Amino acid sequence: MHYVNSLKRWKVKINGSSTLHGIIGNPVHHSLSPAMHNAAFVAMGKNSLYVPMQVEHVAEAIDGLAALGFVGVSVTVPHKETVMQYLDEIDPVAEKIGAVNTILFRSHPENSQRVSRGFNTDWLGSNMALAEVMKLPGGRVLVLGAGGAAKAVGFGLVEAGAEVIITNRSEERGRELAHWLGCGFCLPGDLGSITGTAIVNTTSVGMVPDISALPCDPALLRNFSVAMDIVYAPLETAFLREATSAGCTTVDGLTMLLYQGAAQWKIWTGEQPPRDVMRAALLKELQGR
């Protein structure tokens, strides 16, 4: 019933000509992506629908989505890496990152088969969000964390010409990511002397329900002019609040979510999306929870 009411709120119309999109993951009930993408479809006059789908068995899901005629889907945790082995094609950048968060389905030009191609827009989302407040080429960025999000963020920054430093509680995992990126690594205990343009939290520290937790010593924030958090619930995390107090320009997690979603929308439709409409929908959905 909640989702039916949401469709009414987004003014989504469903009929036999509607094209299908969605998000697969486990869980997906918390996802803000349906609000963002459905609002964009309505604003652009598209007869399209975007739905959340909780998926446990990825192989069967991909076959089913193709058979049902889906145009595109987003992929969220824990399937971003696993899904790659079940796709027909992988974009070279997604192949290099080792994770897919976007799938495009299309008809094969020579037969009736559906072809699936995987992309990664997470790195585009982080780059575009940071580019609003800093010049990426020549910038120096400390990335907190060494998981999948850190990999995408770090990759994007290196591709843009920024100097990246990784720090992580697990030294082995942190050094492994730093080696893959070809960048530096710093132990958490040695961060006091690190200075730079920006600091980015790619961990889940500070998200609901533990909203008072911090991913680093607040004193460290004084060494940077920009702070970005990929966490978007709450919108102003404790990390961003401390960063503001330290004089940093802040970038919230909703901005990265918006830009990666806008890149997905262009892959699926071939058009530029209405980013202002998408951000307004994200904010409205987040505030309503």
Q: Which residues are catalytic?
A: 80
Paired tokens of 8 = 């009414």
User: Which residue reads 């262009």 in tokens?
Assistant: 266
